[in-house]
Structure 1
Amino acid sequence: MGAGDTHAPAHVGVIGGGRMGAGIAHAFLLAGSHVTVVERDEEAARAASDRVVTSLEASIARGSASETSEAYRARFSSTADIAGFATCELVVEAVPEDISLKVDALTRVEAQIAPDAAIASNTSSISIDELAATLDRPARFLGMHFFNPVPASTLVEIVRGAATAPPLVDAAREWVQSIGKTPIVVADAPGFASSRLGVALGLEAIRMVEEGVASPDDIDAAMTLGYKHPVGPLRLTDIVGLDVRLGIAEYLAAHLGERFAPPALLRRLVADGHLGRKTGRGFYEWDE
């Protein structure tokens, strides 16, 4: 269960059951919540269910889960019916980093949940205020930016919008602590804190490869060995997805200026379909 006297929401919804959404579902299941994942169709819902169950069974095998697989499955469902969110205390939006997709997901969620239920976006860069402007109850909306891979990460970035009710920020801190992670709170700004700093480092590393300064291995070693980063910026770019990094960089460049302009090498790799770990090749070759 959660740490200290914090408690996880009784029923959590996750809209979007990809790698991030499945990881968020996993985290709340381990903390004792009932979790409903909603996907675009039944096939995607089945795939999301498989991701969550596989992740849970890996935690059980590692000894990091306190219940049986059957107990977790009893509190978990995956569906294409958004009405499954009707009794949720919290719904986390985890659809791809595209503002039109997020607005569509958020407005559909708001139409299904109770007036006092909360919605959180897992966006890593899109303005919370911009998303909140499309909602009828912006006071019940904020950002909860989880990190990949969610089960192993220890940070959640809570993003406070201009309209976010202060008690909701306090509740979000408690929810994050209940799943064994550490919250930080930032005001809404392009890229928040984590993406803005992380993307700046990643883009400069890509420029160094582009200019022939050093190999990806050596650039990453400079940061893991010299600065004690757990993973280098180029390997992290592969893990996150080059397409995801490109989208965030374009968004930040539009709002913060040319220092976030995506390098030509990044654009070329994405155009060629080399998106990192999920396609088997980015700055590194991947076996998955």
Structure 2
Amino acid sequence: MLELEHGFRVVDIATRLPPADGSGGPRRRTITADRLEREMHQAGITKAIVFPPTRRDGSYLAPNNGVARRSVDRPFAAFARINGTETPGRKATGRLHNALSRREDHHTSPDDVEKYAYDDRFHGFVLDPAVDDYPDEEVLAALEAVGLPVIVRGGVKAPPETLAETLLERSFPVVVGRFGGHPLNRELMDEMIDLLDEYDDCYLETSFVRYREQLERALLEHPDRVLFGSGAPACHPNVAVMEILTLDVSEDMLRRAFSKNACRVIDALAPDADT
């Protein structure tokens, strides 16, 4: 087992779990919950945050419930995927869209946020702005009221500047996936690392970053703000763990990235993963 070789306990905050076995979707690696659990165990991952894949139409209620159900009796902690109606930016077209947009049945409502937050099956939220858009003001206020962490997929379609305008000013922890630079945009990753100086409740997650320079810079400059994410099942967890292990940083920084930081930010991880 990789855990015995590297000696670290690892928690993973970026794992996609399809709501039903075998439903990985087009061009996505199909994986069952049992197989995912085995692969996590082999990589030395003691607990993983899991959430359903994005979908362009329809409610996330059923996929969220499916992920929560399949997390029972496994080392998984379910996050609820949410969506919104808002388009970011100050252009006239965006302002007009937001003024005319209305929440429909498939959009996440403030009541949905409260239900997820007080359901002991869920421990936070996930948002992919490129697909899900951004929550409106009422939903953001509900997220602030419950105070659970939000994992947001950053990248070209959700750049650091936009995330700062829409989410980072809020009073809940925000974990920006892929260092804010998906797909493999070094400039955006560097901008996101710079923003850590301005926002105390902002964190970065490592899945699909691939660049040693940006990973090492973030760990050296902000050792308490980097959280390990494998990106499984699209990336095998063994590969993701080894990418972090090969970084030229101290053992203490690795330990923080692999478990301590996530345990501090996400309560559901602390009992099993704090080392």
Q: Which one has more relative contact order, counting CA pairs under 8 Å at least 6 apart?
A: 2
TM-score range, shorter chain: 0.3 to 0.5
| TM-score (normalised: structure 2) | 0.34
Structure of higher CA gyration radius: 1
